[in-house]
Amino acid sequence: MSDAVYRDAPVFVAGHRGMAGSAIVRRLAALGYRRILTAPRSELDLADQAAVRGYLQRQQPAAVVLAAARVGGIQANNNYPADFIAENLQIELNVIDGAHRAGVQRLLFLGSSCIYPRLAPQPMREDALLTGLLEPTNEPYAVAKIAGIKLCESFNRQHGRDYRSVMPTNLYGPGDNFHPEDSHVIPGLMRRFHEAAQRGDAEVVVWGSGTPMREFLHVDDMAAASVHVMNLPRDTWQAHTQPMLSHLNVGTGVDCSIRELAEAVARVTGFRGRLVWDASKPDGAPRKLMDVSRLAALGWKASITLEEGLRDTYAWFRAHAAEIRG
Ligand code: GFB
pLDDT tens figures, 154-181: 999 999 999 999 999 999 999 999 999 9
- Confidence band of 241 (pLDDT split at 50, 70, 90): confident
Mean pLDDT of 247-262: 98
Three-state SS for 3?
Answer: coil
Pocket of ligand 1, beta carbon within 6 A: 73-75, 77, 112, 114, 137-138, 141, 170, 183-185, 188-189, 206-208, 212, 214, 258, 281-284
Tens of pLDDT, residue by residue over 5-59, are 889 999 999 999 999 999 999 999 999 999 999 999 999 999 999 999 999 999 9
Residue 326: the pLDDT is 58
Is pLDDT of 98 > 70? yes
Catalytically annotated residue among 116, 141, 163, 172: 141
How many Å lie between the centroid of ligand 1 and the Cα of residue 64? 29
Atom 7, ligand 1: residue with shortest CA distance: 185
CB 222 within 8 A of CB 192: no
Indicate if 80 belongs to the active site.
no
How many CB atoms lie under 10 A from the CB of residue 74?
24
From the list 167, 77, 63, the residue with the least C-alpha distance to 107 is 63
Strands 11-14 and 63-66: parallel
Strand partners for 52 = none
What pLDDT, on the 0 to 100 scale, is given for residue 212? 98
pLDDT tens-digit map of 65-75? 999 999 999 99
Average per-residue pLDDT for the chain: 96
Instruction: Evaluate if residue 1 carries a pLDDT over 60.
Output: no
**Helix, strand or coil for residue 290?**
strand
Contact 312, 305 (CB under 8 A): no
The answer to whether 109 and 149 are in contact (CB under 8 A) is yes
State which of 184, 214, 219, 276 you would mutate to test the pocket of ligand 1, scoring each by most atoms of that ligand within 8 A of its C-beta. 184
Cα 227 to its chain centre, rounded Å, is: 14
- pLDDT class of 244 with cuts at 50, 70, 90: low
Determine the Cα–Cα distance for residues 293 and 231; give it in Å rounded to an integer: 19
Residue nearest to ligand 1 atom 29, measured at CA: 73
Q: Which domains occur in the chain, in start order?
A: 11-173+216-254+288-304 (3.40.50.720)
Average pLDDT for residues 252-267, to the nearest whole number?
Answer: 98
Who contacts 68 (Cβ-Cβ below 8 Å, separation ≥6)?
14, 15, 18, 21, 46, 91, 95
Ligand 1, atom 28: closest residue by C-alpha = 74
Q: For residue 77, which atom of ligand 1 is closest to its CA? A: 31
- Write down the pLDDT at residue 240: 81
Q: Say what the pLDDT of residue 181 is.
A: 95
Closest CA to 20 of 143, 207, 170: 170
Query: What is the reported pLDDT for 243?
Result: 62
